[in-house]
Structure 1
Amino acid sequence: MARMPSAERRRQLVEAAVLVMARDGVARTTTRSICAEAGVSLSVFHYCFDSKQALLEAAIGSITGNYVARVMSAVEPRATLRETVRGALGTYWDHVKAHPAEHMLTYELTQYALREEGFEHLARAQYEQYVASAAVLVEQVCVLREVTPKVPVELLARVLAATIDGLTLQYLVLGDERAAADLLDMTADHLVALIEG
C-alpha cells in the first residue's frame, strides 16, 4: 500500500464509503466493506477516523460540497438571473438523474441518523449544511448578477433547500421527469421573484 498524506487517505475512504453505502445501504455498510472498497487496512481507517459517526459526517460534507461545486461551475457569466437560477437547478438535476443512488443515500443517511441512538446530531448537521450550502449559492448568484435580494439570504436558502429536498425525493419515488422539469421551472421563477421582490 503506497503511503499518502492522511487528508488524501480520508478523501479516499470517504469516496469508498459513499460508493459502498449507495450500493449496499447505510445499515449494511461496515468499516471493513469501506476499507475493502478503498483497498486499505482497518488500521488505516482507524488512523483517519475516530468513529463511523466521523466518517458519516465527512461523507455528508463531501456529497454536499460536490453538489455546490458542480452547480457553481455551471454558472454562465452572461446569463440573466432567471437563466442562472434555472441553470444551477438544471445542473443539480442532471446529477440526480445520472446518480439516483447517491441521492437516495442522502435520505437514507438522514433516516439512519435519526433512528440510531447517538447519531441524531448528524441528521441535524446534514440539513444545516444543506441550508448553509444553499445560502452560499444564493449569495454567489446574487453577487454575480449584481442583485441585492429583497428577502433575507437565509430565508431564501431555507426555501431552496426545502424545495430541492422535496423535489428530489418526489422524483426518486415517482420517476416523473416531465413533472420534475415543470417543478424546476416553477422553482426558478419563484426564487427569482423572491430575490427581485
Structure 2
Amino acid sequence: MARMSADERRELLVEAAIRVMTRDGVAKATTRSIVAEADMQLGMFHYCFRSKQELLEQVIEAITGHSLERAGTLLQQRTTVRDTLRAAMQMYWDHVLANPDEHQLTYELTQYALREPGFEGLARKQYEFYLETLVDLLDSSAKELDAEFTIPTAVLARYLITIIDGLTLNWIVLRDDKIPEAVLDEAADHIGSLSRPAKRSA
C-alpha cells in the first residue's frame, strides 16, 4: 500500500469496518477481517485505534456523516426553517433508501453495545452524537434565517430523532415507500410552526 498518513489509514479502516459489519454483522467483524478488507497489516489497526470501541465510535460518526454531509449547504438554499429542516430530512431519507444495510447496521451497533460488557457507553455516545448533530442543525438553521424556536432545541432534537429513528426502523422492516414522505412532511411542518422571527434587542 502506498505511503499515507495515519488519518488516511484510519478513514480507510473505518470504511472497511462498515463494509465488513454490513456484510457479516457486528459480532463477526474482527480486527483481522477489517484490516484484511482494508488491505492492511494487523499492526496498522493498533497504530490507528486504541481499541475496537474507538473504531466503533468512528464508524457511527462516519455513517451519520454519510447521510448529513451536505446538510450545511442547505442553509444557504432555503428561506424558512421548515424548508431547511425538510430538505435536511429528505437528504437523510434519500441516504436511507440508497443504503438500507448501512442504516440497519446502526441499530445492530446499538444492541451490540448494550449487550457487550465494556461497550455500554458506546450506545450512549451514539445517541448523544445524533442529538448533538441535530441540535447543531436546528441552531444553525435558526441563526442563518434570523429565527428562534419557542422551545429549547435540545427538546426539539430529541423529538426529531425519535421520529427519524422510529421511521427508519419501521421502513427497514416494512419497506413501505409511500408513508415515510408524509411523516417527514408532518414533522417539518410541526417543527417549523415552533419557530418565529428572532427577537431583536433594543
Q: TM-score range by the shorter chain?
A: over 0.9
* Equivalent position of 1:39 in the other structure: 39
Matched, 1:162 2:162: yes
Partner of residue 135, structure 1 = 135
Question: 1:45 is matched by which residue type in structure 2?
Answer: F
Contact 1:68 1:137 in 2 (8 A): no
Q: Tell me the residue number matched to 2:148.
A: 148
Q: Give the residue type in structure 2 aligned to 1:101.
A: D
Q: Distance in 2 between matches of 1:68 and 1:89?
A: 9
Deviation at 1:194, TM superposition (A): 2.4
Instruction: Determine the C-alpha separation between the residues in 1 that align with 2:41 and 2:7.
Output: 16
Q: Which moved more, 1:45-54 or 1:106-115?
A: 45-54
In structure 2, the CA distance between the partners of 1:57 and 1:78, relative to structure 1 (3 Å rule), is closer
Ranges in structure 2 where 5+ consecutive residues have no aligned partner = 198-202
For 1:9, the equivalent position in structure 2 comes to 9
C-alpha deviations, 1:50-93, integer Å up to 9, x for none? Answer: 22111111111222233332333344524333222211111110
Count the aligned residue pairs.
197
TM-score, normalization: structure 1?
0.94
Do the aligned partners of residues 75 and 23 (structure 1) sit closer, same or farther apart at CA in structure 2, a change above 3 Å counting?
farther
- For the 8 Å contact 1:114–1:123, the answer to whether it is kept is yes
TM, length-normalised to structure 2: 0.92
Q: Report the more deviating stretch, 77-86 or 122-131.
A: 77-86
1:13-35 CA distance string (max 9 Å, x none):
01111111112111111111111
Match of 1:192 in 2: 192
Alpha-carbon contact 1:26-1:109 (below 8 Å) kept = yes
User: Where do 5+ consecutive residues of structure 1 fail to align?
Assistant: none
Contact 2:113–2:120, Cα closer than 8 Å, also in 1: yes
- Corresponding residue number in structure 2 for 1:88: 88
- 1:96–1:168 contact (8 Å) kept in structure 2: yes
Query: What letter is aligned with 2:155?
Result: L
- Identify which range, 94-103 or 72-81, moves more after superposition: 72-81
Q: Aligned partners of 1:53, 1:86: CA distance in 2, in Å?
A: 33
Kept after mapping to 1: 8 A contact 2:75/2:144: no
Match of 2:72 in 1: 72
Give the AA of the match of 2:127.
Answer: Y
Give the match for residue 115 of structure 1: 115
Other-structure match for 2:26:
26
Q: Match of 1:179, as an amino acid?
A: I
For the 8 Å contact 1:20–1:33, the answer to whether it is kept is yes
More helix by share: 1
Secondary structure of 1:148's aligned partner: strand
